[in-house]
A and B are shown apart, each in its own frame.
Chain A
């Protein structure tokens, strides 16, 4: 009897703890349908509060005026894209160019940091500390108002360079972490069959590091698209600038900012979904 009680003891105690009212409440809230319900309720609450506030200040919603900024028709009946899609094209063009450059900068900085060259490491660390400790907006002003005249950069080039340098610093840390995650034996095996350092990186280390880098790199693409909005302060043609321009003509600030936000979100969610798919595909070959 005593032995039996001993065996049952801990299991019974564990089961009993679930019966305390607080734990039961926690379990209920944590369950799937209930948490979805809570989520929906909170969201509805926020939207209602916003609408309520807007109507309290007498805001006149004019959603019907929004579609014209997405598409329109010429007098001959031809289809034309509106300002918002063109703004999105600007954002994507800017982000793509800046990200491509950021990857190059990031790879160079990461390789310098991992190299045996003392000067290389010092340059890399100096660059990282400088960039990481400056606000992006200040960096943009430096590129546009200082480097712009010096190197003859126009607004677009200054913006691309600024975003590339800023995100290059972050990308280099992703490269470094990815490269470090590849076991040391891989490099040794590559060297032991006579590969040069460059060959070992290209054929052995980077392809393996790619898998580790994919999730944070996608996050960085999303960050790039988001932070590209900042170049609207120097009036580079992109989505946020388009939003500001439309509002200055129409005063539709609520509708336009909701719309612009939704467009950004649609793009970043698509990128995240693509990355998830890519990750799954690469997991299979392992």
Chain B
């Protein structure tokens, strides 16, 4: 029986790329308003897991239920889910041929069929929220990495999603730009958004996470609240991983 307020439920999910098993029997439940931070060594399946939630990857076993919709071959279901689930990528993936404003309005206008003027108003609201209202008419290439990632966050928010997924949002950034992105994410978390974040930023995780998930070799090894996770993890692998990344 799934939880009443579960918005994402994964049961026995597996996924292979050829002979490589990226996910094996993953179970995960995310509740409304919950902030889940997923960490683990590279190649452990974190990104694959998060990409399965909006079906950028198709899982080959188990079930994924998002917002009451089962993810299967039905294209209409998938598009419905994607409109409710925002995604922020490591490489930003802004549309380089469109201005910042057009990057933000194209989703609402094309997918939600919103009138252009209304979409532009919405876009300006969210650009304010990510603290770059002055960049509306620039092209992505004219912005710094941190600004681009904040535009990417605003682009997702313009679809007014109920859930936001972040796939290593700060890994491609120069160190001095990481905080401006994490600040925006923290504000978003405080506003009550349901968030699933793959990151190595443990400071952010400590501050924001309700639940920490540690993955290794395609399996969820440990799930715990951050107090317990950082001070007294159950598995040795998790402890070793934390020692390594918290060393300095």
Residues of A whose CB lies within 8 Å of any CB of B are 183, 185-186, 188-196, 199, 203-204, 207-208, 285-286
Contact = CB atoms under 8 A, between A and B. Distances in A.
B87 interface: yes
Given A185-B89, A199-B110, A286-B141, A192 B97 contact: no
Contact of B107 (A194, A207, A208, A285): A194
A275 B172 CA distance: 36
A208 B97 contact: yes
A194 B66 CA distance: 14
Interface stretch (B24-32, B78-86, B124-132, B176-184): B78-86
B13 interface: no
Most chain B CB atoms below 10 A, which of A183, A188, A193, A285: A193
Interface in B113-141: 139, 141
26 contacts: A183-B91, A185-B91, A186-B93, A186-B95, A188-B56, A188-B87, A188-B93, A189-B93, A190-B95, A191-B56, A191-B82, A192-B54, A192-B82, A192-B89, A192-B156, A193-B82, A193-B83, A193-B106, A193-B107, A193-B156, A194-B83, A194-B112, A195-B107, A195-B110, A196-B79, A208-B95
A237 to B, nearest CB: 42
A67 B105 CA distance: 58
B159 A185 contact: no
A191 B125 CA distance: 23
Interface string B59-96: 00000000000000001000110110111010101111
A118 to B, nearest CB: 16
A189 B159 contact: no
A19 B10 CA distance: 73
A125 to B, nearest CB: 23
Given A185-B91, A203-B110, A286-B141, A192 B56 contact: yes
B87 A192 contact: yes
Interface of B: 54, 56, 75, 79-80, 82-83, 85-87, 89, 91, 93-97, 106-107, 110-112, 139, 141, 152, 155-156, 159
Contacts of B86: 192-193
Contact of B106 (A185, A186, A196, A203): A203
Contacts of A192: 54, 56, 82, 85-87, 89, 156
A188 to B, nearest CB: 5
Nearest to A190: B95
Nearest to A207: B97
Contacts of A188: 56, 87, 89, 93
A179 B1 CA distance: 45
Contacts of A183: 91, 93
A203 B95 CA distance: 10
Contacts of B110: 195, 199, 203
B96 A208 contact: yes
A194 B111 contact: yes
A195 B96 CA distance: 17
Most chain A CB atoms below 10 A, which of B85, B93, B112, B155: B93
Contacts of B141: 286
A214 B79 CA distance: 32
A195 B98 CA distance: 16
Contact of B89 (A189, A195, A208): A189
- Per CB-CB distance, the 9 closest pairs between chain A and chain B, nearest first, are A189-B93, A193-B107, A194-B83, A192-B87, A185-B93, A194-B111, A194-B82, A207-B97, A188-B56
Contacts of B111: 193-195, 199
Contacts of B87: 188-189, 192
Contacts of A207: 97
A190 B112 CA distance: 13
A188 B167 CA distance: 12
A190 B94 CA distance: 9
A203 B107 CA distance: 10
A253 to B, nearest CB: 51
Contacts of A199: 110-111
Contacts of B139: 285-286
A194 B110 CA distance: 9
B82 A189 contact: no
A204 B83 contact: no
